[in-house]
């Protein structure tokens, strides 16, 4: 009852005209910067920070939160329509979203992404509201051993990602792992494969890599196929998801909501990680895994739900502990401090208006995103009618602009072009990119947490992982998943024997 009363108070704050405009502006700006590759929410909020000093703080925070989750949604638009990931969190949406668009189903893909984002975001906000303090405690228990166990669990799902040829998929996962080792090692500080350059010390960025492999690779391949004359994409058939789509998307959206929120709450769990893990999970549990990579509805709905849910989940450590888990949240922390508010356990007690105002605005923001984007789907899809000869140079321009804008780095441009060539070759020889991307992102995190956990164990004994309840549970689950085919085979073998024995009696 208390919570409900406080929430109504929050709505009263969030629904004032000024704050409604702030939500609208934030969601709108966020969508736009999400659409533009390279220009992310971090840079935008950093630019807006000085302006917010003069604003009411709740209004400023509402707008920043709007920008943040607007960007998560906006990123999926370019992923689906032109195969360019606007943000790291929408990289995985390229895989099936773009294939859906190629089959003339861009409208349903965008629709599912919008509805999924809405549901994921809303579920997550409700969870933030109800169980934040409890969750913050649990999230703190996630140290390196727990993180390692979680990532290990995610890796057991990669086996299911391999598509047509298992050998080829595993090979790509290895390439991803190798690319992920580039840069200064986080534990010993040793340089690996940096060839004496400063640029490679931080490793290869996910967005330049993905923009190359997906965006540029696709364009180069299409030019070769002489499709430049007309549109490569079939004309859109329908704008909204069909009943069949909904049926297929329901499970992924439900799983994505909870998975995304859980990953978002954990320190170090970013929206990009949430979307990748969701993709792997959906393929693993799907009855039609062969459709993944060729326009599977689940491959869009799950990850798009998960990344929005993770975005909201990230507010838990910020609001309850005062720990920002990524740079966008760090800027929001700065904005609060500029106004003399300290996030953390005291926030709810001393500044309830801030806490409940922001929570309420997130509900409104999620509705706003839907209102803003669903009617626009028809307009976005029109983009695909632009002749490819005109569209493709424009896409190349945006990819280049985005690659530079990311870190103001010319070297990132070179990286994008290099991976564009690689993406072209992969497309040419029918190699699927999903295992590479997944291994590239999760591999270095797995290594880092394994090393840290082993240092923490003092002795380096791997049994240390089983001495901590969370990591023991997760690792046991992962081992079960790995052994499941063997167990099933043994079971069938045993029951078969039994049946045969009975038959002979």
Partner 1 sequence: MMKKWNSVWILVLACVALFGSIPAAAQEFPTKPIEVVVGFAPGGGTDMVARAISDVAAKYLGQPLVVNNKPGATGIIGSQYVYNAKPDGYTLLVAGGSETVSVPHFKTLPFNPITDFDPVIRLMVERVGFYVRTDSPWKTMKDFIADAKKNPEKYTYGTAGVGGIHHSSMLVTEKRTGIRLINVPQKGGAENLTALAGGHVNVAMASPNEAYALVQGGRVRCLAITALERSPTEPNAPTMRELGYDVYIDNQKGFVVRKGVPAPIRQKLHDAVKKAYDDPQFKASADKLKLELSYLNGEDFRKALKSMYDQIGESVKK
State yes or no: residue 51 binds partner 1 (CB under 8 A). no
Whole-number Å distance between alpha carbons of 428 and 95: 16
Q: Which is nearer to partner 1, 87 or 245 (CB)?
A: 87
User: What six digits make up the tokens of 146?
Assistant: 């727990």
Residues in Cβ contact with 364 at an 8 Å cutoff, skipping those fewer than 6 apart: 11, 14, 15, 20, 23
Task: To the nearest 10°, report the CA torsion of 70, 75, 80, 85.
Answer: -170
Residues in Cβ contact with 329 at an 8 Å cutoff, skipping those fewer than 6 apart: 314, 315, 318
By CB under 8 A, how many residues form the interface with partner 1?
54
Q: Which is nearer to partner 1, 115 or 355 (CB)?
A: 355
State yes or no: residue 31 binds partner 1 (CB under 8 A). no
Whole-number Å distance between alpha carbons of 472 and 463: 9
Q: Which is nearer to partner 1, 49 or 396 (CB)?
A: 49
Q: Which is nearer to partner 1, 236 or 343 (CB)?
A: 343
Q: Which is nearer to partner 1, 142 or 155 (CB)?
A: 142
Whole-number Å distance between alpha carbons of 309 and 127: 10
> Is 184 in a helix, a strand, or coil?
strand
Q: Is 292 left (phi over 0), alpha (psi -120 to 50) or beta?
A: beta
Q: By C-alpha distance, which of 425, 424, 443, 445 is closest to 435?
A: 443
Of the candidate spans 104-112, 193-201, 271-279, 285-293, the one that interacts with partner 1 by CB under 8 A turns out to be 193-201
Site for partner 1 in 479-498 (CB under 8 A): none
State yes or no: residue 323 binds partner 1 (CB under 8 A). yes
Whole-number Å distance between alpha carbons of 45 and 30: 10
Residues in Cβ contact with 21 at an 8 Å cutoff, skipping those fewer than 6 apart: none
Site string for partner 1, 422-451 (x = CB under 8 A): --------------------------x---
Q: Which is nearer to partner 1, 189 or 375 (CB)?
A: 189
Q: Which is nearer to partner 1, 34 or 433 (CB)?
A: 34
Of the candidate spans 25-33, 83-91, 102-110, 455-463, the one that interacts with partner 1 by CB under 8 A turns out to be 455-463
Q: How far is the CB of 56 from partner 1 (least distance, A)?
A: 15
Q: Which residues partner with 192 through β-bridges? A: 183
State yes or no: residue 46 binds partner 1 (CB under 8 A). yes
Point out which residues bind partner 1 (CB under 8 A).
42-43, 45-46, 49-50, 53, 139-144, 184, 186-189, 191, 198-199, 201-202, 267-268, 317, 321-325, 327-328, 330-331, 333-334, 337-340, 342-346, 407-409, 448, 452, 455-456, 458
């Amino acid at each position: 009852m208390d919570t409900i009363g406080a929430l109504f108070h929050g709505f009263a704050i969030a629904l004032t005209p000024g704050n409604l405009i702030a939500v609208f502006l934030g969601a709108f700006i966020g969508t736009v910067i999400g659409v533009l590759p390279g220009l992310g929410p971090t840079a935008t909020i950093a630019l807006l920070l000085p302006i917010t000093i003069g604003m009411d703080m709740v209004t400023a925070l509402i707008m920043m939160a709007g920008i943040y989750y607007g960007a998560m949604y906006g990123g999926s638009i370019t992923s689906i329509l032109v195969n360019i990931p606007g943000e790291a969190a929408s990289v995985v949406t390229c895989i099936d979203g773009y294939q859906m668009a190629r089959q003339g189903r861009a409208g349903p893909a965008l629709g599912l992404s919008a509805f999924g984002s809405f549901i994921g975001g809303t579920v997550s906000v409700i969870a933030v509201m109800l169980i934040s303090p409890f969750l913050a405690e649990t999230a703190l228990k996630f140290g390196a051993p727990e993180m390692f166990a979680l990532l290990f669990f995610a890796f057991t799902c990669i086996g299911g990602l391999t598509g047509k040829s298992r050998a080829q998929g595993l090979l790509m996962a290895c390439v991803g792992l190798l690319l992920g080792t580039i840069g200064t090692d986080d534990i010993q500080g040793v340089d690996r494969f940096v060839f004496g350059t400063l640029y490679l010390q931080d490793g290869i960025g996910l967005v330049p890599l993905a923009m190359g492999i997906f965006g540029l690779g696709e364009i180069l391949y299409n030019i070769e196929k002489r499709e430049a004359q007309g549109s490569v994409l079939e004309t859109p058939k329908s704008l909204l998801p069909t009943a069949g789509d909904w049926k297929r998307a329901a499970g992924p959206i439900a799983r994505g909501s909870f998975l995304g929120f859980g990953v978002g709450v954990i320190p170090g769990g970013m929206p990009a990680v949430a979307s990748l893990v969701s993709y792997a999970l959906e393929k693993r549990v799907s009855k039609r895994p062969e459709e993944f990579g060729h326009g599977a509805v689940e491959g869009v709905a799950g990850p798009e739900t998960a990344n929005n849910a993770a975005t909201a989940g990230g507010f838990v450590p910020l609001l309850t502990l005062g720990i920002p888990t990524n740079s966008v949240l760090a800027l929001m922390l700065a904005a609060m401090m500029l106004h003399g508010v300290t996030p953390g356990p005291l926030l709810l007690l001393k500044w309830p208006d801030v806490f409940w105002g922001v929570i309420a605005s997130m509900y409104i923001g999620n509705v706003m995103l839907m209102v803003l984007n669903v009617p626009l789907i028809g307009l976005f899809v029109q983009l695909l009618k632009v002749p490819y000869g005109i569209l493709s140079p424009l896409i190349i321009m945006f990819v280049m602009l985005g690659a530079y804008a990311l870190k103001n780095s010319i070297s990132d441009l070179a990286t994008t072009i290099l991976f564009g060539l690689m993406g072209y070759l992969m497309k040419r020889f029918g190699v699927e990119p999903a295992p590479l991307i997944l291994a590239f992102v999760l591999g270095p995190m797995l290594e880092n947490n394994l090393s840290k956990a082993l240092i923490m164990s003092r002795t380096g004994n791997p049994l240390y992982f089983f001495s901590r309840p969370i990591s023991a549970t997760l690792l046991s689950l992962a081992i079960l998943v790995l052994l499941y085919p063997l167990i099933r085979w043994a079971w069938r073998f045993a029951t078969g024997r039994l049946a045969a024995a009975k038959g002979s009696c």
